[in-house]
Amino acid sequence: MAIVKAKINGIDVEVASGATILEAAKKIGVHIPTLCHLNLEGFGIVNKVASCRACVVEVEGRMALAPSCAEKITEGMVVRTDSLRAITGRRMAIELLLSNHPQDCLVCPKNLECELQALSQEMGVREIKWIGEKMDYPIDKTTASLVKDPNKCIMCRRCETMCNEVQTVGVLSGINRGFDAVVGPAFNLDMEHTACTFCGQCVAVCPTGALTEINDVGKVWRALNDETKHVVVQVAPAIRVAIGELFGMEPGTVTTGQLASSLRRLGFDAIFDTDFAADLTIMEEASELVHRIEHGGKLPMLTSCCPAWVKFFEHQFPDMLDIPSSCKSPQIMMGSMVKTYYAKKMGLDPENVVMVSIMPCLAKKAEAARPELAKDDLNNVDLVLSTREYGAMLHEAGVQFDVLPEGDFDQLLGESTGAAVIFGTTGGVIEAAARTAYEWLTGEELEKVEFSQLRGLEGIRSASVMIKDFELNIGIAHGLGNARKLLEDIRDGKSHFHAIEIMACPGGCIGGGGQPYHHGDIEIIKKRQEAIYAEDRSKVRRKSHENEALKSLYSEFLGEPYGSTAHELLHTRYVAREKI
């Protein structure tokens, strides 16, 4: 590999040919601020449009300042990042962005998380030098998941990169011209009337308050204060390894016990772990896979627990609705069991039960309202909070999460295995299914429960698992662009897989659109993933079918896995949607 030698701030630097000035500076410990730049190294996610100019530097012999995120460093280049010209140029870029920004930071949903705000502080901006004309676009709150406020858009194009290149959905692009230019759907359609999957990855990377989640915190407070309601809550696997970040804890700290304690402090009537429903999902999904294998059913079978993925294939592959598993997602299965089995056991009218979910995900908000998932016109889940919203709720209530003692979930629908917790990461659902399918197909005990060949963060992975003399071929994809490739292979008759796991978010739910902002730091995703696997290792039971509470649920209420009651309550159907 060719090496380039250059000088930055008087320090010699050697980097591989092709590196940017920004990358070279980082190598020698020189920090250059960035805003539009996004580099999720490891996922191949790079936004290098150089539109904001917040990273400009001085290059010897040039009149114009250079955007360090996009400009490659060349042999003998002499760069100054700390000259008055460079610093003034960067500050001016921020001042210009602020000149037509709404500047309502105190009430903005991204307050204290906004990268424009942080950069203003870092660059020493102390006055709004120029007062420009403000945009006056309507705020789009048409979906159950996202809010789009174009007035706060700084045209960094990060969302566009995410939506078009990573997710290949193509909802967001630059629209209008000149002063009116913003990013949004073609023809300025409402988000609700597009093929948006509600994955929330645009929200996860938007540096300002232009893209945020629908806030349901007030509705949950009102439910908790309504004496006529019995309020039940569930918490998804990926929350426990991320929520601590909102309280100053290290990324990847496992906080399962603190989560249970915090929910009790807020006064929920029953607190359940979605991990229980993840085990339930495996009972149904593994049964369906075994059934398809043994009865010549449609293969490959695709997992169906990610609602953004479900909406993606409904829009993009409406001719292939018979290949995904018919299983509802764990959040909906939990809601279904709470409003039937639990309500019956407790003598409650399901109409008075409010099911609240805390999820790493924005798509789960829209999923809860899907009519296909309701039973007798009653939604299985009523309200969904993201990890960030739940953190905000705890802050409002003054709960010091980081010093809480460890508590326990209620047991009726609370017991779970290690197989359930790994649902939180890419590869986890199919590994959990393989643990159970192996024992069911062979009748033998699986001694080595960890399938290391299914783990990792590469966008598309494949592995073969020997189940006696049957070779089960498994595919895994995270990120919808990767999923699209596997789907196209199936459509073209080129797929050799029996089962495929898909998660819409890079990394799976640990990188979900509702998780604490990672600001492009891939190390945070890796630490969350390590924590998920550590939680699995700490469990006494690590296979879903060993869950004792689940055995009681089947014997008392559901009957056989994949039987008629299970079908009625735990399975769903898909709807062909327009490819807008």
Task: Please identify every residue annotated as catalytic.
Answer: 285, 288, 305, 325, 364, 367, 372, 509
Among 202, 278, 477, 569, binds ligand SF4 (CB under 6 A): 202
Out of 156, 266, 277, 355, the residue judged to bind ligand SF4 by CB under 6 A: 156
Closest approach of Cβ 474 to ligand SF4, in Å? 18
Select from 87, 155, 348, 378 the one that contacts ligand SF4 (CB under 6 A).
155
Rank residues 337 and 362 by Cβ distance to ligand SF4 and give the closer one: 362
Choose, by CB under 6 A, the member of 34, 197, 212, 234 that binds ligand SF4: 197
Q: Which of 475, 508, 516, 561 binds ligand SF4 (CB under 6 A)?
A: 508
Q: What are phi and psi of 254, to 5 degrees?
A: -85, 125
Should residue 199 be labelled a site residue for ligand SF4 when binding is judged by CB under 6 A?
Answer: yes
| C-beta of 24 vs 171, nearer to ligand SF4 | 171
Distance of closest approach, residue 308 Cβ to ligand SF4, in angstroms = 4
Please report the beta strands in 185-235, taking only residues with DSSP state E, as ranges in sequence order. Answer: 211-213, 230-235
> HSE-up of 548 (CA within 13 Å, CB side)?
5
For residue 328, what are its two tokens? 């509802």
Question: d(Cα 277, Cα 413) in Å, to the nearest integer?
Answer: 8
Among 55, 196, 413, 433, binds ligand SF4 (CB under 6 A): 196
Least distance in Å: CB of 176 to ligand SF4? 12
By CB under 6 A, name the one of 25, 55, 92, 171 that touches ligand SF4.
171
Query: Which residues, 6 or more positions from 48, have their beta carbon under 8 angstroms from its beta carbon?
Result: 20, 37, 69, 70
Give the footprint of ligand SF4 on residues 111-150 (CB under 6 A): 146
Q: Please choose, out of 18-26, 79-87, 199-207, 226-234, the segment that lies near ligand SF4 by the rule CB under 6 A.
A: 199-207
- The token pair at 370 is 């899907």
Rounded least distance, CB 323 to ligand SF4, Å:
18
Residue 167 near ligand SF4 by CB under 6 A: yes
Binders in 325-384 for ligand SF4, by CB under 6 A: 360-361, 363-364
Q: Which neighbouring-strand residues pair with 166?
A: none
CA 141 distance to own-chain centroid: 20
Please give the sequence-ordered ranges of beta strands (E in DSSP) within 296-412, or none if there are none: 301-302, 353-359, 383-386
* 40 lines the binding site for ligand SF4 (CB under 6 A): no
Nearer to ligand SF4, 245 or 410 (CB): 245
| Tokens 């607190």 belong to residue | 271
Q: Is residue 502 a contact point for ligand SF4 (CB under 6 A)? A: no
Which is nearer to ligand SF4, 157 or 339 (by Cβ)?
A: 157
Q: How far is the CB of 227 from ligand SF4 (least distance, A)?
A: 33
Q: Where are the beta strands (DSSP E) in 114-243?
A: 146-148, 173-175, 182-184, 211-213, 230-235
Stretch of residues binding ligand SF4 (CB under 6 A), selected from 102-110, 282-290, 392-400, 506-514: 506-514
Residue 313 CB, shortest distance to ligand SF4, in Å, is 12
Q: What is the separation of C-alpha 139 from the centre of its chain, rounded to a whole number of angstroms? A: 23
Give me the residue label for tokens 């909070």: 385
CB nearer ligand SF4, residue 360 or residue 427: 360
Name the pairing type of β-strands 78-80 and 460-467: unpaired
Q: Is there binding between residue 476 and ligand SF4 (CB under 6 A)?
A: no
One character per residue 280-319, x = contact with ligand SF4 (rule: CB under 6 A): --------------------------x-xx----------
What angle in degrees, to the nearest 10, is found between the helix axes of 307-316 and 480-491?
50
Backbone angles phi, psi at 130, to 5 degrees: -120, 130
Q: How far apart are CA 561 and CA 281, in angstroms?
A: 10
Least distance from ligand SF4 to the Cβ atom of residue 117, Å: 13
The C-alpha atoms of residue 108 and residue 114 are separated, in whole angstroms, by: 9
> Under the criterion CB under 6 A, does residue 201 sit at the interface with ligand SF4?
yes
Give CA separation, 509 vs 146, 241, 253, 515, in Å: 17, 11, 16, 8
- Based on CB atoms, which residue is closest to ligand SF4, 89 or 479? 479
- Residues 418, 419, 425: CA angle, nearest 5 degrees: 100
Considering the complex, state which of residue 86 and residue 368 has its C-beta at the smaller distance from ligand SF4: 368
β-partners of residue 213 are 146
Closest distance of CB 264 from ligand SF4, Å: 25
Q: According to CB under 6 A, which one of 509, 525, 566, 569 is a site residue for ligand SF4?
A: 509
Going by the DSSP 8-state scheme, the letter that residue 71 receives in this structure is S
Instruction: Kindly determine how many residues on this chain lie close enough to bind ligand SF4 according to the rule CB under 6 A.
Output: 40
Helical ranges in 347-459 per DSSP H: 363-368, 387-397, 418-421, 428-442
The answer to the question of residue 157 lying near ligand SF4 (CB under 6 A) is yes
154 binds ligand SF4 (CB under 6 A): yes
Under 8 Å CB-to-CB from 223, ≥6 apart: which residues?
229, 231, 354, 356, 382, 383
- Minimum gap (Å) between residue 197 Cβ and ligand SF4: 4
Supply 96's token pair: 């210009």
| Residue 235 near ligand SF4 by CB under 6 A | no
Distance CA 143, CA 348 (A): 31
Q: Does 183 bind ligand SF4 (CB under 6 A)?
A: yes
Count other Cβ atoms within 10 Å, centred on residue 75.
10
Cβ-proximal residues to 455 (8 Å cutoff; 6+ apart), any chain: 427, 431, 533
H/E run at residue 568: helix 564-570
Q: Shortest distance, CB of residue 331 to ligand SF4, whole angstroms? A: 8
Binding mask 204-233 toward ligand SF4 (x if CB under 6 A, else -) reads --xxx-xx----------------------
Residues that bind ligand SF4 in the complex, under the rule CB under 6 A = 146, 153-159, 162-163, 167, 169, 171-172, 183, 196-202, 206-208, 210-211, 306, 308-309, 360-361, 363-364, 503-505, 508-509, 512
